[in-house]
């Protein structure tokens, strides 16, 4: 195509060779026009990152481009020898990676790293010129105390800061194309928005185009001009953002979009008398239990004031505090103590879903571990069903464990990679005498799997043989098998794709009704929390700022922090400022 | 026999210690004539130069009365001298006795009194004069608890021969007299020995530095003076400018300690050393093929196996004899020592004044051996015991093991580091220990007495059970007729052979190796050498 | 001592530029393992059949035929300083050497791993204590241990094994400890705790399977070094006792005549040890891949 | 400020280890059968005399008192009197120990240079021919007997080629630094052998792993040339690990240099220790082990400090 800055044609990438080869990018074709923001959206494994890597020739050593062409300014990249690719790198194409924490060299000061790149693109520049350029760029990316940052090491900066530095680093050579691979995934919701704004403004400044790789439709709707939706290595649909979002032509796109939780969605559903479920309920969930969620759900959905008052709270926290001591004795570090949870009081009713939200480091995970008895509180009491687990002797606490169970954020790492899942589920059962024999244990495990909609054949699989969603289901099954009263869900979906997240959320809702469970749900995405929870507590720096009913989220008098969180949610449809911004951008892009 | 007992325990000690430490001292080759053993090379001697000698183990203290190891004496004999010395230019032996610090000596009172005329004009390294007074202080250091510098350690080491010294007396400035409670006709030759004897040190030194300090500032009358010592590395000596005797050729002597056989060999081969001790038999051909000298000759030492009499089996003479007859010593010499050794049948080794080449104990005869064993109640495989050996003799032990299979004896071999070996062989043997391997000897006939009490009796033989041998030994030890003395020793040796109380094995004929340019070295028929006549060709 | 690599997961490697590379297929891994196993099994078998296979009595000294070279009539691999048939001694030697090496490797690996595991999961204090102990073991010259053991137990195979173990344990402990520390942070451990798993259950049922690969690799890597080390001990006379044929002892005894120009007696056993050691190394590397079900490409 | 305190604290950690080591050495010496006094004097002394000598070495006191006395001697009396050599232990050991350190130093240099070079070559050619070759070489080397290796070196370089001296650390007619270096080459090589290979493995591994890290991808994506990536970024990032390994290996070298010393007749502490153990010379053994241990621990301490200093995360 003429006028295209970057044009990719029938690009195919395969892992391995010969019969064993596996096609992971399948005849992908798209253009990125000058000055526009082009987004490739898709779920993990869709091949979007590989596509991006292919452009810069940064494919893994065992991945091969088998066919197709990539040309920049009409100049073919694929056939280019290594040297010319490296010439493209940086000068014409800059790239921002997903994980800002690891993307900067931990051993050098920021200044040093920036200046190195500057020196690379402007060999002529003198020392102080380089210094100035570095400083100006740091300001360009919204870092005011440039001096400090220049002399700082990466680990001394927050994730957001680092991502800003990364952007500066990638764009200071004024590349024609800036590729951003999931630039905000690892960041807090609040920061996410700022980074996206930044990316856009920077690319506008340099007059370059932005190729945005993401899995999040929120991001797309907020930042992209045009979108390509990828699935299993193919582009299923590509067009202007508004079209794709409002009237998706492809079923897959539709399902993805519907899977995105949105503020207030639950109530809209409730008004329409629909069950509180996301997307096409079921997904990879077995139909048997899928329909378990309909009729009954309608009535059951929403907060259940009636029976909550009847029974005393399941969990009550009174002035709970937890302090961590870092370093000291032999660790080689100087001794430091910091307060992770400070004087928190709250209660969780039986059968309710209590949500905890806050930015990373706000102490929500610590709090959940306190409640789950994985950590001991320094002060205050944590009463679970009438017993203060903060004071309980080890042995008794252990006996109590089956009654409150965890589902961890990262299903991959919370499952033991070297033990078959069946084993992992049945071990605790045997341990707590909930199963008399290994056989009985296996039977129970099978039931648990059935609950989460997995066939019992999975008992013999290893975690790595399962998809992310399946792993999380195993995690849930493992917890449920012990028939807990309380399920502590520590960001169970934040590592998952939208559609999978939807399925898990649905599953959780179903299970709560089937098994009359109480949830403590930790999240950082307000939309998800609001969708799932009856009441929400907002944490910041270990302090519980406020708790409120899900319905009262947008109510006046909300704490500013809560507002900020609410603000950070990237809505799918255009609402006020973000929308106009989007339009403005889009408009500019259109001829 | 109180003193005998004392003397014995002392001798046991002294010698056991030395045996323990001296890894090997080689002698043998009754016919190692001048041709082979005589001065190496020819040409006119040239003065000057440094000679580097590779020792195979760390010498002990350089103290005239605390010596141990021949290697020690090979160093210290250049610093200290005795009243009498052996003729080190004689490769054949038995060596003649020559005057050293004494010019003349005579026995009286049936060998109980010995009077020495001391050499005049001899000075110690610090310039002080050597007089009868000096001798007296040396004597008192090792015998007179009243003396301020009486040294227990030395006394104990020398008790072997000075146990029944009654007193020493300064007759005049240059005459000194020893008086013993028993006749001691072997005294002069004992005085010419290296260890457990009275070599003369400079009294001023121990009076200044104390008995323990002496070894750090060794001072005597010898041809070389002490320069420095780094334990584990080297000892350096330099020529003594005002030596009373003929001036040595070499300016400097460096003794490097190189315990590892291969390294020592390599050091010589690479020219970093001029002479090394304790050449491995299998290296002889290598050395000679590369133009190095490996003089053939013999010292006054040999290898012998002793029985553990605490092991019931060996209290039966038939068994001991059987084992002796089960070992082919000719073959041993050939196979283990590449023929660089001569088989022995007597406990008086070559170079010893009482050595008798024709002496025979029992000849190799496996059939007879089997018969004897059966007679003693041990059928094929009936007898089994352990050979305890020093690591250095591992090959030998293994060879014995394989040979004794031949007469139906099962042997287990245990090789130990030196002290562990001594501790076990001389101290507390395991019940089924059978043979232990030792290597020692001397040019003095009294050696037989020494070996009997310190290496054989100490391993469980009860002298009372062998009256003839014991009597014969005492008779020789305290002989009063100089002309009969040697005869008596030979007689005693015969008795010992008949008793089958030990197994003389072989005496090695190669021991030192010299660089191609070393001249004037003599492989003397005793256990050390004389470097004063050695010189280095261009 | 042989420290072995931790598995390298496959992911973008810009150092390769655009040049694509073949990736190591399961097949090749298994081939490697089988090959290694075959070699090892071969040596074990030979050891077992020694009485049948060995042309001579390994201890039979024949002074008539010392230092025959390789290919000498009647002595395929020549003879040593006592005129013993080297081939026969090699065949018999496998018995002791393999047993010693395996026993030592196994016990030191187990001991070290247990130490490390416990240290890794019993709080800073205890961990510190254990690792200090390891330091002590490091700081203590092995040779002293060996010599002293020799004095206490009398020289022989037990001494060899024990001193090897003593010398190897700290290394194993250090390597495994590093691994365990990695695991300690993983969420599955916390999950196990939340599921009421006790200390030892976490250690041996949850964590062990995850570090096993490393342990195996390291353990197998030790074998060769063990034999070699035993040879050093023999050189000091505290190794396997004569006349027992033993590769280690053959090397050290052979070394006694290298300078004299007789290289074979030391060279041949040296080569054998080398082959065995390499076989074990391959086995280890191979096993790691087999053990670790996750060795598939990352990234994408 | 904080770092100083921290360093002091680390140094303190050495003390307990040293105490344990000393106690161990002490016990080991005492609990082994065979008594040096017996071995030396029993046969030429009456039991009373032997007792007297024992007393003179303080061997008749109760164990703990002996231990205390010995610890005192360590500081005051040069580690006590050697029983065999009749000299203060440290007078005997220190000169030799100095030599051992010289040899170790040489070993370290060789190890560091060779190890890193091999590692880098292998790592940058990951899965390439050079890599496989280097790794085979490493595996081979790791399974050679140092004793054997040393002799082979002598055989080739001293005897066959006559390039280098076979033993000791000084030529017959003395000779300065160059002479010392010449004497250091062969022992240094054989001492460094294993450590070199260990280091090579680690360097290689480090390079492979680092080169897959995100930041490398970042700079690669900015067109930083490959050489530079390795030299600057990867190099700097694996530096701490490399330093750490070298440190550990120094320890191994010090404690393990004994065989090398015996092969090359290097007048170091190793030979002394072996003799001491053989002679049951308690004070000498103990003194030696303490020296070695102390040195080992100090090296570790220095390593830790350096590694921390190199790690920006632990700064300030």
Residue A281 and residue A506 in contact, taking contact as beta carbons nearer than 8 Å: yes
Nearest to D218 by CA among A152, A116, A159: A116
Bridge partners, residue B51, by sequence? B253
Q: Assign C29 a pLDDT band (cuts: 50, 70, 90).
A: low
Distance from the D11 Cα atom to the nearest Cα atom in chain B, whole angstroms: 33
C103 phi/psi in degrees, rounded to 5? -55, -50
- Nearest CB among C81, C237, C258 relative to B415 is that of C237
Residue A421 and residue A459 in contact, taking contact as beta carbons nearer than 8 Å: yes
Q: Which helix (H) or strand (E) holds D97?
A: helix D89-124
Across chain C, what does the average pLDDT equal?
A: 77
Q: Chain C window 136-175: which residues touch A at a Cβ cutoff of 8 Å?
A: none
- pLDDT tens sequence across B420-463: 777 778 777 888 899 999 888 889 999 999 888 888 888 888 88
Question: d(Cα B360, Cα B498) in Å, to the nearest integer?
Answer: 9
Q: Does the distance separating the beta carbons of C205 and A414 come in below 8 Å?
A: no
Question: d(Cα A317, Cα B217) in Å, to the nearest integer?
Answer: 85
Domain containing D184: what range? 89-315
One DSSP character per residue, B355-420 reads --TT--S----HHHHHHHHHHTT--TTTEEEEEEEEGGGHHHHHHHHHHHGGGTEEEEEEEE-HHH
Least trusted range by pLDDT, from A135-144, B173-182, C53-62? C53-62
Bridge partners, residue A42, by sequence? A230
Distance from the C260 Cα atom to the nearest Cα atom in chain D, whole angstroms: 9
Q: Which residue of A has its CA nearest to C129?
A: A330
Least trusted range by pLDDT, from A106-115, B169-178, D164-173? D164-173
- pLDDT tens sequence across C214-250: 888 888 888 877 877 887 777 766 777 666 778 888 8
Q: Is A403 on the interface with C (CB under 8 A)?
A: no
Higher pLDDT, D108 or C2: D108
Q: Is the pLDDT score of B300 beyond 70?
A: yes
pLDDT computed for residue D177 by the predictor = 82
pLDDT computed for residue B345 by the predictor = 93
Q: Is the pLDDT score of C5 beyond 70?
A: no
Q: Does the distance separating the beta carbons of C61 and B334 come in below 8 Å?
A: no
pLDDT computed for residue B24 by the predictor = 30
- Nearest CB among A94, A103, A105 relative to D237 is that of A105
Chain C residue numbers touching A462 (CB-CB < 8 A): 293
Would residue D225 count as lying in a domain? yes
Least trusted range by pLDDT, from A363-367, B156-160, B290-294? B156-160
Q: Which of C7, C9, C19, C20 to mutate to test the interface with A (most CBs of A within 10 A)?
A: C20
Question: d(Cα B536, Cα A510) in Å, to the nearest integer?
Answer: 104
Residue C231 and residue A514 in contact, taking contact as beta carbons nearer than 8 Å: no
Helix (H, G, I), strand (E, B) or coil at A124: coil
Would residue D279 count as lying in a domain? yes
Q: Does the distance separating the beta carbons of B399 and C63 come in below 8 Å?
A: yes
Task: Tell me the whole-structure pTM to 2 decimals.
Answer: 0.77
Q: What distance, in Å, lies between the first and last C-alpha atoms of chain D?
A: 9
Q: What is the mean pLDDT of residues B130-136?
A: 95
Q: Does the distance separating the beta carbons of D33 and C277 come in below 8 Å?
A: no
C275 phi/psi in degrees, rounded to 5? -60, -50
- Nearest CB among A50, A58, A85 relative to C300 is that of A50
Are B and D close enough to touch, i.e. 3+ CB pairs under 8 angstroms? yes
- Nearest CB among D214, D222, D308 relative to A120 is that of D222
Residue C161 CB-density burial (10 A; 0-12 exposed, 13-18 middle, 19+ buried)? buried
Q: Is the pLDDT score of D55 beyond 70?
A: yes
Output the CA angle A301-A302-A307, nearest 5 degrees.
95
Q: Does the distance separating the beta carbons of C201 and A431 come in below 8 Å?
A: yes
Helix (H, G, I), strand (E, B) or coil at A183: coil
Q: Is the pLDDT score of B413 beyond 90?
A: no
Chain B residue numbers touching D186 (CB-CB < 8 A): none
Across chain B, what does the average pLDDT equal?
A: 86
Question: d(Cα D280, Cα C150) in Å, to the nearest integer?
Answer: 13
Q: Does the distance separating the beta carbons of C81 and B401 come in below 8 Å?
A: no
Q: Assign B330 a pLDDT band (cuts: 50, 70, 90).
A: very high
- pLDDT tens sequence across D201-229: 888 888 888 888 888 888 888 878 888 88
Q: Is the pLDDT score of B45 beyond 90?
A: no
Q: Is the pLDDT score of C199 beyond 80?
A: yes
Q: Which of C260, C263, C266 to mutate to test the interface with B (most CBs of B within 10 A)?
A: C260
Residue D111 and residue D249 in contact, taking contact as beta carbons nearer than 8 Å: yes
Question: d(Cα A563, Cα A263) in Å, to the nearest integer?
Answer: 13
Distance from the B153 Cα atom to the nearest Cα atom in chain D, whole angstroms: 8
Q: How many H-runs (helices) and E-runs (strands) does chain C carry?
A: 11, 0
Q: Does the distance separating the beta carbons of D165 and B272 come in below 8 Å?
A: yes
Residue A190 CB-density burial (10 A; 0-12 exposed, 13-18 middle, 19+ buried)? middle
> From the CB of residue B380, how many other CB atoms can be counted at a distance below 10 Å?
12
Distance from the D274 Cα atom to the nearest Cα atom in chain C, whole angstroms: 8
Number of domains in chain D: 1
Q: Which residues contact C32 (CB under 8 A, 6 or more apart)?
A: C282, C285, C286
pLDDT computed for residue C14 by the predictor = 39
Q: Which residue of B has its CA nearest to D172?
A: B272
Length of chain C: 300
- pLDDT tens sequence across A486-508: 999 988 887 778 888 888 888 88
Please report where in the chains the tokens 């140094």 appear, as a residue.
D11
Q: Assign A432 a pLDDT band (cuts: 50, 70, 90).
A: confident
- pLDDT tens sequence across B387-397: 998 878 888 99
Question: d(Cα C67, Cα C79) in Å, to the nearest integer?
Answer: 5
Q: Is the pLDDT score of D52 beyond 90?
A: no
Q: Which of D45, D100, D167 to mutate to test the interface with B (most CBs of B within 10 A)?
A: D167
pLDDT computed for residue A97 by the predictor = 84
Distance from the A408 Cα atom to the nearest Cα atom in chain C, whole angstroms: 8
- Nearest CB among A99, A103, A120 relative to D224 is that of A120
Q: What is the mean pLDDT of residues B337-344?
A: 90
Could you tell me the CA-to-CA distances from D194 to C7, C165, D108, D149, D270 in Å, in that order?
22, 18, 11, 11, 18
Which of the other chains make 3 or more beta carbon contacts under 8 angstroms with chain D? A, B, C
Which of the other chains make 3 or more beta carbon contacts under 8 angstroms with chain A? C, D
Q: Which of A64, A325, A401, A418 to mutate to test the interface with C (most CBs of C within 10 A)?
A: A418
Could you tell me the CA-to-CA distances from B494 to A330, B361, B455, B472 in Å, in that order?
76, 8, 18, 10
pLDDT computed for residue B235 by the predictor = 93
Are D and A close enough to touch, i.e. 3+ CB pairs under 8 angstroms? yes
Q: Chain C window 239-298: which residues touch A at a Cβ cutoff of 8 Å?
A: 293-294, 296-297
Chain B residue numbers touching D275 (CB-CB < 8 A): 58, 232
What CATH number has the domain bearing residue D276?
A: 1.10.3720.10
- Nearest CB among D20, D24, D274 relative to C143 is that of D274
pLDDT computed for residue D23 by the predictor = 85
Are B and A close enough to touch, i.e. 3+ CB pairs under 8 angstroms? no
Would residue D107 count as lying in a domain? yes
pLDDT computed for residue D271 by the predictor = 75
Would residue D36 count as lying in a domain? no
One DSSP character per residue, B144-207 reads -TTSTT--HHHHHHHHHHHTTEEEEEEEETTEEEEEESS--TTHHHHHTSSSSS--B--HHHHH
pLDDT computed for residue B38 by the predictor = 55
Instruction: Taking the CA atoms of A156, A158, A161 and A166 in sequence, report the sign of the dihedral they define.
Output: positive
Q: What distance, in Å, lies between the first and last C-alpha atoms of chain C?
A: 38
Would residue D47 count as lying in a domain? no
Question: d(Cα B110, Cα D272) in Å, to the nearest integer?
Answer: 50
Q: Which residue of C has its CA nearest to D204?
A: C5
- pLDDT tens sequence across C103-116: 889 999 999 999 98
Alpha helices by DSSP H, A57-103: 82-91, 100-103
Q: Assign D48 a pLDDT band (cuts: 50, 70, 90).
A: low
Chain A residues touching chain D at CB-CB below 8 Å = 56, 58, 86-91, 93-95, 97, 99, 102-108, 113, 116-117, 120, 153, 155, 166, 169-170, 173, 330, 332-334
The interface predicted TM-score (ipTM) is 0.74
- Which range among A405-419, A463-477, B463-477, C54-68 has the greatest average pLDDT? B463-477
Distance from the B179 Cα atom to the nearest Cα atom in chain C, whole angstroms: 45
Question: d(Cα B139, Cα B141) in Å, to the nearest integer?
Answer: 5
Least trusted range by pLDDT, from A135-149, B119-133, D148-162, D248-262? D248-262
Q: Which residues contact B530 (CB under 8 A, 6 or more apart)?
A: B88, B89, B522, B524
Chain A residue numbers touching D224 (CB-CB < 8 A): 90, 116-117, 120
pLDDT computed for residue D32 by the predictor = 63
Q: Is A282 left (phi over 0), alpha (psi -120 to 50) or beta?
A: left
Chain D residue numbers touching C139 (CB-CB < 8 A): 17, 21, 251, 255, 292-293, 296-297
Q: Is the pLDDT score of D1 beyond 80?
A: no
Q: Is the pLDDT score of A39 beyond 60?
A: yes
Nearest to A541 by CA among A354, A360, A381: A360
In percent, how much of chain A has pLDDT > 90? 6
- pLDDT tens sequence across A544-565: 999 998 888 888 888 888 888 8
Q: Which residue of C has its CA nearest to D29?
A: C148
- Nearest CB among D16, D32, D124 relative to C148 is that of D32
Would residue D60 count as lying in a domain? no
Q: Is the pLDDT score of B331 beyond 80?
A: yes
Q: Is the pLDDT score of A101 beyond 80?
A: no
Q: Is the pLDDT score of B29 beyond 50?
A: no
Chain B residue numbers touching C64 (CB-CB < 8 A): 335
Strands of B409-416's sheet, edge to edge? Answer: B409-416, B383-390, B433-440, B302-307, B502-504
Q: Does the distance separating the beta carbons of B283 and C82 come in below 8 Å?
A: no
Question: d(Cα B412, Cα A364) in Å, to the nearest integer?
Answer: 74
Would residue D122 count as lying in a domain? yes
Question: d(Cα A581, Cα C133) in Å, to the nearest integer?
Answer: 65
- Nearest CB among C62, C236, C255 relative to B262 is that of C255
Instruction: Report the DSSP pairing between strands A486-490 and A404-407.
Output: parallel
- pLDDT tens sequence across B183-237: 999 999 999 988 788 999 999 999 999 888 898 899 999 999 999 988 888 899 9
Chain C residue numbers touching D221 (CB-CB < 8 A): 14
What are the structural domains, with CATH classification, of chain C? Answer: 31-298 (1.10.3720.10)
- Token representation of residue C177: 């400890």
Q: Does the distance separating the beta carbons of D296 and C278 come in below 8 Å?
A: no
Q: Is B394 on the interface with D (CB under 8 A)?
A: no
**How many Cβ pairs closer than 8 A exist between chain C and D?**
166
pLDDT computed for residue A488 by the predictor = 92
Residue A285 CB-density burial (10 A; 0-12 exposed, 13-18 middle, 19+ buried)? buried
Q: What is the mean pLDDT of residues B301-305?
A: 93
Q: Is C185 on the interface with A (CB under 8 A)?
A: no
Q: Does the distance separating the beta carbons of C187 and A410 come in below 8 Å?
A: yes
């Amino acid at each position: 195509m003429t006028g295209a800055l970057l044009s990719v044609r029938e690009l195919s990438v395969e892992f391995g060779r010969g019969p064993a080869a596996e096609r992971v990018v399948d005849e992908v074709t798209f253009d990125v026009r000058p000055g526009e923001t082009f987004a490739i959206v898709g779920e993990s494994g869709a091949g979007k990152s590989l596509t991006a890597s292919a452009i810069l020739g940064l494919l893994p050593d065992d991945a091969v481009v088998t066919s197709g062409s990539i040309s920049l300014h009409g100049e073919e990249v694929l056939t280019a020898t290594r040297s010319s690719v490296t010439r493209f790198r940086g000068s014409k194409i800059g790239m921002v990676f997903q994980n800002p924490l690891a993307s900067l060299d931990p051993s050098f000061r920021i200044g040093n790293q920036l200046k190195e790149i500057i020196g690379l693109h402007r060999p002529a520049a003198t020392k102080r010129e380089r210094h100035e350029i570095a400083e100006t760029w740091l300001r360009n990316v919204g870092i005011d105390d440039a001096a400090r940052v220049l002399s700082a090491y990466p680990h001394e900066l927050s994730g957001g800061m680092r991502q800003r530095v990364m952007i500066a680093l990638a764009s200071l050579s004024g590349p024609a194309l800036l590729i951003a691979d999931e630039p905000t995934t690892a960041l807090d919701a609040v920061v996410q928005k700022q980074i996206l704004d930044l990316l856009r403004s920077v690319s506008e400044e340099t007059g370059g185009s932005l190729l945005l790789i993401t899995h999040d439709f929120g991001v797309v709707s907020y930042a992209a001009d045009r979108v390509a939706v990828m699935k299993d290595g193919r582009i299923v649909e590509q067009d202007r953002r508004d079209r794709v979002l409002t009237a998706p032509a492809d079923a897959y796109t539709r399902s993805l979009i519907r899977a995105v939780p949105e503020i207030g969605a639950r109530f809209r559903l409730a008004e329409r008398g629909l069950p509180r479920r996301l997307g096409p309920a079921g997904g990879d969930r077995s139909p048997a239990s899928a329909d378990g969620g309909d009729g009954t759900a309608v009535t059951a959905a929403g907060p259940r004031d009636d029976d909550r008052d009847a029974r005393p709270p399941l969990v009550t926290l009174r002035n709970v505090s937890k302090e961590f001591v870092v370093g000291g004795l032999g660790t080689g570090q100087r001794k430091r103590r910091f307060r992770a949870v400070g004087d928190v009081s709250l209660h969780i009713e039986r059968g309710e879903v209590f949500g905890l939200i806050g930015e990373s480091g706000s102490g929500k995970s610590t709090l959940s571990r306190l409640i789950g008895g994985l950590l001991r509180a320094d002060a205050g009491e944590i009463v679970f069903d009438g017993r203060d687990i903060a004071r309980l002797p080890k042995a008794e606490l252990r006996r109590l464990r089956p009654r409150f169970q965890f589902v961890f954020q990262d299903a991959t790492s919370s499952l033991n990679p070297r033990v078959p899942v069946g084993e992992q589920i049945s071990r605790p059962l045997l341990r707590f005498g909930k199963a008399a024999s290994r056989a009985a244990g296996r039977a129970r495990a099978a039931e648990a799997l059935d609950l989460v909609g997995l066939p019992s054949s999975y008992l013999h699989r290893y975690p790595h043989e399962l998809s992310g969603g399946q792993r999380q289901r195993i995690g849930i099954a493992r917890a449920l098998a012990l028939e807990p009263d309380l399920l502590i869900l520590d960001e169970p979906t934040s590592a998952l794709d939208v559609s999978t997240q939807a399925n898990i959320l649905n599953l959780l809702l179903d299970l709560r009704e089937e098994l009359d469970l109480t949830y403590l749900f930790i999240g950082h995405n307000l939309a998800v929390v609001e969708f799932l929870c009856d009441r929400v507590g907002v944490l910041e720096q270990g302090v519980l700022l406020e708790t409120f009913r899900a319905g009262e989220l947008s109510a006046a008098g909300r704490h500013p922090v809560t507002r900020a969180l609410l603000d950070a949610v990237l809505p799918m449809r255009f609402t006020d400022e973000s929308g106009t911004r989007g339009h403005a951008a889009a408009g500019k892009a259109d001829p | 026999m109180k003193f005998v007992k004392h003397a014995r325990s002392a001798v046991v000690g002294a010698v056991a210690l030395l045996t323990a430490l001296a890894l090997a001292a080689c002698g043998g080759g009754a016919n190692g004539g001048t041709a082979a053993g005589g001065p190496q090379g020819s040409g006119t001697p040239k003065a000057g130069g440094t000679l580097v000698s590779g020792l195979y183990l760390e010498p002990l203290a350089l103290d005239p009365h605390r010596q141990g190891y021949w290697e020690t004496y090979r160093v210290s004999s250049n610093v200290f001298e005795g009243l009498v010395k052996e003729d080190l230019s004689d490769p054949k032996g038995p060596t003649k006795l020559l005057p050293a610090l004494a010019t003349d000596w005579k026995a009286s009172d049936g060998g109980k009194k010995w009077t020495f005329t001391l050499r005049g004009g001899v000075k110690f390294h610090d310039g002080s004069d050597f007089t009868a007074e000096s001798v007296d202080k040396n004597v008192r250091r090792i015998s007179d608890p009243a003396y301020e510098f009486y040294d227990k350690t030395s006394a104990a080491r020398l008790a072997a021969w000075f146990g029944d010294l009654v007193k020493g007396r300064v007759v005049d400035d240059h005459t000194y007299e020893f008086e013993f409670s028993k006749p001691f006709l072997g005294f002069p030759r004992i005085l010419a020995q290296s260890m457990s004897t009275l070599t003369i040190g400079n009294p001023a030194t121990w009076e200044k530095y104390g008995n323990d300090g002496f070894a750090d500032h060794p001072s005597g009358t010898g041809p070389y003076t002490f320069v420095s010592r780094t334990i584990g590395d080297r000892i350096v000596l330099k020529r003594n400018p005002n030596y009373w005797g003929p001036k040595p050729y070499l300016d400097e002597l460096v003794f490097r300690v190189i315990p590892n056989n291969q390294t020592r060999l390599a050091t010589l081969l690479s020219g970093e050393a001029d002479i090394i001790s304790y050449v491995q038999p299998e290296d002889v051909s290598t050395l000679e093929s590369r133009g190095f000298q490996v003089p053939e000759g013999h010292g006054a030492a040999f290898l012998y196996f002793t029985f553990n009499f605490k092991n019931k089996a060996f209290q039966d003479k038939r068994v001991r004899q059987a084992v002796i007859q089960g070992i082919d010593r000719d073959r041993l010499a050939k196979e283990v020592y590449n023929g660089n050794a001569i088989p022995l049948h007597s406990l008086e080794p070559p170079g010893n004044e009482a050595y008798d080449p024709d002496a025979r104990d029992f000849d190799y005869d496996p059939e007879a051996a089997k018969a004897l064993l059966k007679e003693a109640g041990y059928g094929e495989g009936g007898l089994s015991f352990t050979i305890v050996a020093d690591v250095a003799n591992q090959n030998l032990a293994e060879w014995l093991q394989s040979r004794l299979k031949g007469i139906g004896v099962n042997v287990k071999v245990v090789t130990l580091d030196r002290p562990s070996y001594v501790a076990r062989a001389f101290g507390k043997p395991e019940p089924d220990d059978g043979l232990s391997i030792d290597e020692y000897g001397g040019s003095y006939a009294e050696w037989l007495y020494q070996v009997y009490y310190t290496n054989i009796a100490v391993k469980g033989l009860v002298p009372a059970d062998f009256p003839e041998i014991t009597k014969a030994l005492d008779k020789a030890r305290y002989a009063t007729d100089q002309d009969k003395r040697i005869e008596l020793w030979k007689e005693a040796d015969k008795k010992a052979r008949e008793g089958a109380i030990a197994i003389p094995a072989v005496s090695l004929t190669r021991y030192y190796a010299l660089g191609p340019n070393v001249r004037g070295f003599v492989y003397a028929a005793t256990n050390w050498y004389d470097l004063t006549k050695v010189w280095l060709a261009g | 001592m042989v420290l072995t690599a931790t598995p390298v997961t496959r992911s973008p490697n810009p150092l390769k530029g655009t040049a694509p590379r073949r990736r190591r297929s399961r097949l090749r891994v298994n081939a490697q393992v089988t090959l290694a196993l075959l070699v090892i099994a071969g040596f074990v078998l030979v050891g077992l059949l020694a009485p049948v296979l060995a042309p001579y009595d390994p201890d039979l000294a024949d002074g008539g035929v010392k230092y025959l070279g390789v290919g000498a009539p009647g002595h395929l691999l020549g003879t040593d300083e006592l005129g013993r048939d080297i081939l026969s001694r090699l065949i018999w030697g496998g018995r002791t050497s393999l047993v010693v090496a395996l026993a030592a490797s196994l016990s030191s690996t187990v001991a070290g791993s247990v130490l490390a595991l416990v240290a890794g999961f019993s709080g800073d204090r205890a961990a510190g204590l254990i690792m200090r102990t390891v330091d002590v073991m490091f700081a203590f010259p092995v040779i002293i241990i060996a010599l002293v053991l020799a004095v206490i137990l009398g020289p022989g195979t037990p001494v060899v094994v024990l001193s090897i173990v003593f010398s190897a344990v700290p290394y194993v402990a250090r390597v495994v400890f590093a691994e365990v520390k990695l695991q300690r942070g993983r969420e599955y451990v916390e999950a196990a705790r939340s599921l009421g798993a006790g200390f030892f259950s976490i250690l041996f049922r949850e964590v062990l399977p995850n570090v096993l690969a490393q342990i195996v690799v390291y353990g197998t890597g030790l074998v060769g070094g063990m034999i070699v080390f035993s040879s050093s001990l023999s050189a000091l006379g505290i190794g396997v006792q004569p006349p027992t044929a033993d590769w280690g002892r053959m090397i050290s005894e052979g070394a006694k005549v290298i300078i004299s120009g007789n290289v074979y007696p030391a060279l041949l056993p040296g080569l054998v040890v080398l082959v065995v050691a390499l076989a074990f190394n391959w086995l280890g590397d191979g096993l790691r891949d087999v053990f670790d079900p996750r060795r598939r490409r990352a990234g994408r | 400020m904080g770092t100083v305190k921290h360093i002091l604290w680390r140094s303190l950690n050495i003390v307990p280890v040293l105490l344990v080591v000393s106690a161990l050495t002490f016990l080991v010496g005492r609990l082994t059968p065979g008594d040096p006094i017996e071995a030396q004097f029993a046969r030429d002394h009456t039991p009373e005399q032997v007792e007297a000598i024992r007393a003179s070495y303080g061997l008749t006191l109760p164990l703990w008192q002996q231990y205390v006395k010995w610890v005192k001697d360590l500081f005051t009396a040069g580690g006590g009197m050697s029983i065999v050599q009749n000299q203060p232990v440290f007078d005997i050991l220190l000169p030799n120990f100095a030599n051992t350190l010289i040899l170790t130093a040489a070993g370290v240099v060789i190890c560091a240079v060779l190890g890193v070079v091999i590692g880098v070559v292998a790592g940058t050619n990951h899965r390439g021919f050079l890599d496989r070759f280097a790794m085979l070489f490493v595996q081979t080397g790791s399974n050679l007997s140092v004793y054997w290796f040393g002799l082979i070196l002598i055989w080739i370089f001293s005897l066959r080629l006559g390039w280098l001296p076979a033993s000791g650390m000084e030529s017959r007619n003395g000779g300065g630094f160059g002479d010392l270096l010449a004497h250091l080459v062969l022992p240094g090589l054989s001492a460094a052998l294993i450590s070199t290979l260990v280091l090579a493995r680690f360097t290689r591994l480090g390079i492979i792993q680092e080169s897959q890290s995100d930041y490398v991808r970042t700079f690669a994506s900015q067109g930083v040339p490959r050489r530079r990536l390795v030299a600057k970024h990867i190099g700097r990032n694996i530096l701490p690990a490399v330093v750490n390994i070298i440190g550990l290996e120094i320890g191994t070298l010090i404690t393990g240099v004994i065989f090398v010393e015996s092969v090359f007749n290097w007048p170091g502490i190793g030979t002394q220790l072996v003799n001491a153990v053989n002679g049951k010379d308690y004070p000498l053994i103990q003194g030696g082990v303490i020296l070695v241990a102390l040195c080992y621990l100090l090296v570790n301490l220095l390593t830790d400090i350096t590694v921390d200093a190199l790690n920006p995360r632990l700064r300030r």
